[in-house]
Amino acid sequence: MAAAFTVQEASRRILEGIRAVPTESIPLRDALGRVLAEDVTSPIEHPPWDNSSMDGYAVRAADVVNASAERPIALPVLETIAAGQRPTRRVEPRTASRIMTGAPIPDGADSVIRVEDTDGGIARVEIRDARDAGRNVRPRGEDLQIGALAVARGEVLGPAQIGVLASVGAATISVHRRPRVAVLSSGDELVDVDQFDAVRRGDRIVSSNSYSLIASVRELGAEVVDLGIVADDPNAYTERVQSALDCDLLITSGGVSVGAFDFTKDVLTSLGAELHLWRVRMRPGAPLGFGMLGKMPWLGLPGNPVSALVTFELFGRPLIRTLRGERSVFRRTIDVRTRDDISLAAPLTHFMRAIVDWDSNGPTARLTGPQGSGLLTSMALANALLVVPHDRMKVRAGDTLKALLLGERSIASSSLDV
């Protein structure tokens, strides 16, 4: 049997040969969640003109510095400039132009007095406060200069990035295409949910991994090729794997351990796979396969539902994010104070299902409850994985450990705390 690797070594081995999938051009409208494949720079100055950040009056600061409620300053109004119009008049000393937010600042003006500090006049205006003297002008090119980087390659496109791309005219963008990820579950005991009668009878269990792994892949914006459930039979398994050879990644679950019916490794080897990894010194999830089947990477996750999701989190997610062309592929860990005494039986890196919360002294973590690798509800309750290093077999409540945050769940809150 091949050597067992640490989590870090395993991660390095898995990711070292992985390249981003090829690119395609798509309309900006369809860009949400995709990964930009090339730097996009701005062909314009944005904003394209000096403009007002207030509804009010464009004036010269020198004319209004002495304005107050007691001694308002009256100025003739030259024109009204709406957003989308160009000014036609220069603001000469002791004149003003009425101006709306976003409208171009007329020549001669260096300030916009907010309308609330005036009488709101149309032909003549009274300025009643000097606080906006020299303010409220947003300079041309303040956001982006010509040639400035608007969005960098490798960025995942969210609402703000898409907005920036729109501002600089990137109607069509180059992104990595969606990786095609095949998902295969194996085990004679497994059925799909539509055969729940067999589960009720006590003969079978639902292949929950099919659902949780497909959801995990989909959540990452990859395209799922659902290979379903295959029996513990090398021939059937071989056939199923062969149907996926044109995918960008094959993820299997089950059959990677040392049981009498664990065929996954044999099947992959007989198909010519190069195995790079077979075991990782972690719990849950010690049996974990990785190899290359021709050009297609294969990630063999353990069958235990928690092990499958935890190993997906540690190895599958960064792998798919690398295929997607993302620049930062790992999730963040934070230091947390544990609330539980923890006593472990094996010198392995443990990833314990935990709920991270914040108290006045910072982040804390408490375990979700029993930690068996078949207890999928522990994963459903968790918003983080508490990382107990292999050399910390005893942890006391109050000790500081790392927690790997599991996405949006870990930062969701029932109250607005700003």
State the residues that interact with Mg ion by CB under 5 A: 187, 254-255, 303
Among 101, 195, 238, 257, binds ligand AMP (CB under 6 A): 257
Looking at residues 262 to 301 of the shown chain, list those that interact with ligand AMP (rule: CB under 6 A). Answer: 262
Contacted entry of Mg ion, ligand AMP, none for residue 208, CB cut-off 5 to 8 Å set by kind: ligand AMP
Query: Which of 118, 304, 368, 371 is the binder for ligand AMP (CB under 6 A)?
Result: 304
Which CB sits closer to ligand AMP, 56 or 289?
A: 289
Longest dimension (CA), the chain: 94
- Residue number with CB closer to ligand AMP (51 or 304): 304
Size of the site for ligand AMP (CB under 6 A): 20
Minimum CB distance to ligand AMP smaller for 209 or for 349: 209
**253 lies in the binding site for ligand AMP (CB under 6 A):** yes
Question: Does residue 216 interact with ligand AMP by CB under 6 A?
Answer: no
Instruction: Answer with the entry of ligand AMP, Mg ion, none that 291 interacts with (C-beta below 5 to 8 A by kind).
Output: none
338 binds ligand AMP (CB under 6 A): no
Q: Which of the choices Mg ion, ligand AMP, none does residue 305 contact, using the CB cut-off of 5 to 8 A by kind? A: ligand AMP
Among 45, 189, 340, 357, binds ligand AMP (CB under 6 A): 189
- Check binding of 302 to ligand AMP (CB under 6 A): yes
Instruction: Please report how close the Cβ of residue 303 comes to ligand AMP at its closest, in angstroms.
Output: 3
Rule CB under 6 A: say whether 111 interacts with ligand AMP.
Answer: no
Q: Which is nearer to Mg ion, 117 or 232 (CB)?
A: 232
Assess 305 for contact with ligand AMP (CB under 6 A): yes
- Which residue minimizes CB distance to Mg ion? 187
Residues that bind ligand AMP (CB under 6 A): 185, 187, 189-190, 205, 207-210, 253-257, 259, 262, 302-305
